[in-house]
């Protein structure tokens, strides 16, 4: 049974997988770590995984899994976690991000007590365009989601299997796994890792990609802060809209008492609209609270972290006296 499962999703851009495997498996072998590599490929990338077959025939610890249809990198990782056998799971992009000797260091962090160890490309030696995008993105991330992670885009991570099993992260939010782990009380550590020489080219994406990232940040903002208390979010929004609408209607009512006509004024329609939207937002918050309450028995939103413990905790037998207590005669 391997101790470490390295999952490599082949979804977007990919480099030759044989070279990738040989480069990143060697430090694990030298460190004496029992490992397996799981290549999770999209339908279009199956031909790219074919060169791995000779290595498998020679006994290399490689497994190849293919999705039936295009599902994306994050879904591949969630599906691959089901097939992984190691107690420690490592996620590795199909393109080089950091130097190969980073993997044993991340695994060592997990063995030393971290629940999730993530690689941070530092110092950055790539294009100033990439560094500017990274700085802007993480500035927004820190403001919206209270993020304390400096490189969520790296994708090179090591974690305990329990982290993947406990965190209900789906879709494109898998890239923000460290933030969800921090929210739930897991111990997350960041390791500075040398940036790979092949990860220095400038990358400029389409406007649609940047728009999707902004939508992801808004969704992350809600999930991180208001998953367990949706009424607080919808109540604030609805309360503000209702207050503005109510004040506007009061102003119109006073103007009507003074003899001014209000029937043909757009301001009347806007005031009523704000009042209705506010009431609907509050109602959505109440519905959300009901849903959270109904699913509370099956959810695990918080964790207890052992601060002080012993190797074997004694079981009380009723003879221990609390300070200030007296024994019965």
The more confidently predicted of residues 187 and 68 is: 187
pLDDT band at 320 (very low <50, low <70, confident <90, very high): very low
With respect to residue 252, please indicate whether it lies within any of the assigned structural domains. Answer: yes
Q: Are residues 200 and 114 in the same domain?
A: yes
Shortest CA distance to 123 belongs to which of 194, 24, 32? 194
Q: What is the mean pLDDT of residues 292-309?
A: 65
If you average pLDDT over every residue of the chain, what do you get? 87
Reduce the DSSP state of residue 152 to 3 states and report it: coil
Q: Is the pLDDT of residue 270 over 50?
A: yes
Residue 218 token pair: 């808004």
In the chain, the N- to C-terminal Cα span, in Å, equals 59
pTM beyond 0.85 = no
- Over the stretch 211-224, which tens digit does the pLDDT of each residue have? 888 888 888 888 88
Using left for φ > 0, alpha for ψ between -120 and 50, and beta otherwise, residue 312 falls in beta
Q: Are residues 157 and 293 in the same domain?
A: no
Distance (Å, whole) CA 118 – CA 145:
18
Q: Is the pLDDT of residue 168 over 80?
A: no
DSSP state of 202: -
The answer to whether 40 and 67 have CB atoms below 8 angstroms apart is yes
Shortest CA distance to 122 belongs to which of 193, 187, 62, 72? 193
Contacts of 214 (CB under 8 A, 6+ apart): none
DSSP H helical ranges for the chain: 17-30, 46-49, 53-57, 73-83, 102-111, 128-145, 161-166, 177-183, 207-226, 230-257, 266-295
Q: Are residues 127 and 270 in the same domain?
A: no
Q: Are residues 268 and 291 in the same domain?
A: yes
pLDDT at 323: 43
Q: Tell which of 195, 226, 257 closes a domain.
A: 226
pLDDT at 298: 61
DSSP state of 196: P
pLDDT at 319: 47
Domain total of the chain: 2
Q: Are residues 241 and 277 in the same domain?
A: yes
pLDDT at 318: 44
Q: Tell which of 226, 254, 285 closes a domain.
A: 226
The CATH number linked to 217 is: 3.90.550.10
With respect to residue 248, please indicate whether it lies within any of the assigned structural domains. Answer: yes
With respect to residue 72, please indicate whether it lies within any of the assigned structural domains. Answer: yes
Domain range for 283 = 230-298
Q: Is the pLDDT of residue 202 over 90?
A: no
Q: Are residues 257 and 216 in the same domain?
A: no
Phi, psi of 249, deg, nearest 5: -65, -35
With respect to residue 307, please indicate whether it lies within any of the assigned structural domains. Answer: no
The more confidently predicted of residues 154 and 309 is: 154
With respect to residue 102, please indicate whether it lies within any of the assigned structural domains. Answer: yes
With respect to residue 319, please indicate whether it lies within any of the assigned structural domains. Answer: no
Q: Is the pLDDT of residue 97 over 60?
A: yes
With respect to residue 289, please indicate whether it lies within any of the assigned structural domains. Answer: yes
With respect to residue 202, please indicate whether it lies within any of the assigned structural domains. Answer: yes
pLDDT at 247: 96
Distance (Å, whole) CA 45 – CA 28:
26
Q: If 0-12 CB within 10 Å is exposed, 13-18 middle and 19+ buried, where does residue 252 land?
A: middle
The answer to whether 5 and 90 have CB atoms below 8 angstroms apart is yes
Q: Is the pLDDT of residue 322 over 50?
A: no
Q: Are residues 148 and 290 in the same domain?
A: no
């Amino acid at each position: 049974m391997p101790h470490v499962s390295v999952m490599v999703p082949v979804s977007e851009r990919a480099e030759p997988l044989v070279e990738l495997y040989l480069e990143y498996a060697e430090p694990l072998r030298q460190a004496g770590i029992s490992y397996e590599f799981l290549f999770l490929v999209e339908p279009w990338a199956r031909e790219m995984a074919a060169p791995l077959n000779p290595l498998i025939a020679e006994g290399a610890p490689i497994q190849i899994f293919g999705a039936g249809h295009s599902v994306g990198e994050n879904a591949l990782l969630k599906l691959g976690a089901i097939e992984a056998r190691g107690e420690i799971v490592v996620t590795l992009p199909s393109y080089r991000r950091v130097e190969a000797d980073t993997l044993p260091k991340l695994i060592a962090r997990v063995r030393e007590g971290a629940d999730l160890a993530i690689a941070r490309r530092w110092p950055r030696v790539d294009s100033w365009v990439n560094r500017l995008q990274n700085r802007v993105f993480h500035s927004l991330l820190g403001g919206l989601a209270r993020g304390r992670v400096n490189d969520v885009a790296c994708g090179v991570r090591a974690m305990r299997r329990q982290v993947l099993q406990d965190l209900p992260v789906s879709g494109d939010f898998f890239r923000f796994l460290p933030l969800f782990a921090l929210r739930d009380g897991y111990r997350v550590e960041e390791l500075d890792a040398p940036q790979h020489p092949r990860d220095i080219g400038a990358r400029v994406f389409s406007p649609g990609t940047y728009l999707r990232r902004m939508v992801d940040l808004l969704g992350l903002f809600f999930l991180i802060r208001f998953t367990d208390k949706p009424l607080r979010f919808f109540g604030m929004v609805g309360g503000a809209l209702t207050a503005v609408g109510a004040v506007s209607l009061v102003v119109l009512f006073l103007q009507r008492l003074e003899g001014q006509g209000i029937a043909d004024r757009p301001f009347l329609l806007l005031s009523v609209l704000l009042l209705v939207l506010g009431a609907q937002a509050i109602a959505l918050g109440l519905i959300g609270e009901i849903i959270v309450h109904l699913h509370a028995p099956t959810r695990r939103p918080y964790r207890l972290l052992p601060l002080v413990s012993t190797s074997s905790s004694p079981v009380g037998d009723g003879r221990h006296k609390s300070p200030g207590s007296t024994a019965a005669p």
